[in-house]
């Protein structure tokens, strides 16, 4: 069941099919659950041979105004979608690369240091929790830490309860985000909405109508920012979770069909 903040419920919009994709829009795309079907393990996802070419074509149509926004590291996105190498945000916005191929400078901040110290303190407890439940595994991305329980759904309650307890014991540097059979700790000052703001302040994104496709609670901050800008927010998935997204597509296949130009994918 989706858990969204009350203010997100209050701002929820009617869910309908999205309009046709505007060739001039600034396009922001989540990855797992949006462009790729979710796999038992992130390393087991399947990328169709046509997908990197589709990303390149969509970006070229917009002068480079396409960015992947994912919980994966950017290096992982580059590996999955090679030879595509465009604008991207990894780790929910902690990493960011502009359309010019340059990494955005990472300004040192006190709250980042607080978050890093808090992650160091909770890593042993999260590792112990993973050992307690066969099938639960710890994914340490360096600046974020996640516990996956897709292979052990019976552990979901214990994992979520333990994560909530750890968050209460930590300083304010961390936020806890829940996804599909996963919980993740990350520095509080980053989210997908904020990274969309950063992209929209830069060429070639600025001045365009933004479009964002995502599938999970981790994308709700992005949907809210898109709505604030009068853009097109689209949640992928056929479940009945509440969302602030204005539109819905039922599956990854439906999302890819919506993204594919009428004359078909690039050859």
Residue 151 pLDDT level (bands cut at 50, 70, 90)? confident
Question: For 90-105, how does the pLDDT look when each residue is reduced to its tens digit (9 = 90+)?
Answer: 999 999 999 999 888 7
Average of pLDDT values for 37-57?
92
Full domain range(s) for residue 245: 6-37+48-94+190-259
Contact, 157 vs 146, CB < 8 A?
no
Annotated active-site residue 172? The verdict is no
Q: Are residues 11 and 67 in the same domain?
A: yes
Q: Which of 30-44, 107-121, 143-157, 181-195 is the least confident region? A: 107-121
Mean pLDDT for the chain overall: 88
**58 and 90 part of one domain:** yes
In a domain, 117, yes or no: yes
Q: Are residues 119 and 90 in the same domain?
A: no
Q: Distance between CA 192 and CA 90 in Å, rounded?
A: 10
Q: What's the Cα-to-Cα distance from 31 to each of 7, 42, 47, 202, rounded to whole Å?
A: 26, 11, 11, 22
**Lowest-confidence segment of 4-8, 22-26, 217-221 by average pLDDT:** 4-8
Q: Tokens for 155, please give them.
A: 């552990």
pLDDT (average), residues 243-263: 93
Task: Give me the catalytic one of 10, 22, 30, 37.
Answer: 30
pTM for the complete prediction? Answer: 0.85
């Amino acid at each position: 069941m989706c858990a969204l903040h009350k203010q997100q419920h209050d701002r929820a919009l009617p869910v309908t099919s999205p309009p046709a994709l505007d060739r001039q829009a600034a396009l922001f795309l989540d990855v797992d659950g949006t462009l790729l079907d979710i796999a038992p393990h992130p390393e087991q996802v399947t990328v169709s041979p046509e997908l990197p070419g589709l990303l390149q074509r969509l970006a070229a149509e917009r002068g480079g105004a396409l960015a992947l926004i994912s919980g994966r590291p950017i290096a992982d996105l580059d590996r999955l979608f090679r030879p595509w190498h465009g604008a991207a945000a990894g780790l929910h916005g902690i990493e960011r690369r502009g359309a010019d191929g340059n990494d955005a400078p990472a300004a040192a901040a006190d709250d980042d240091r607080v978050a890093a110290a808090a992650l160091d303190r909770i890593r042993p407890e999260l590792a112990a929790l993973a050992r307690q439940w066969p099938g639960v595994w710890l994914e340490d991305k360096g600046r974020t830490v996640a516990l996956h329980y897709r292979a052990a759904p019976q552990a979901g309650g214990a994992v979520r309860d333990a994560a909530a307890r750890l968050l209460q014991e930590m300083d304010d540097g961390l936020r806890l985000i829940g996804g599909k059979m996963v919980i993740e700790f990350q520095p509080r000052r980053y989210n997908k909405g904020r990274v969309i703001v950063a992209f929209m302040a830069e060429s070639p994104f600025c001045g365009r109508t933004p479009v964002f496709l995502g599938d999970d609670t981790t994308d709700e901050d992005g949907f809210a920012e898109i709505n604030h800008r009068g853009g097109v927010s689209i949640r992928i998935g056929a479940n009945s979770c509440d969302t602030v997204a204005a539109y819905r597509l039922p599956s990854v296949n439906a999302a890819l069909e919506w993204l594919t130009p009428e004359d078909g994918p690039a050859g």
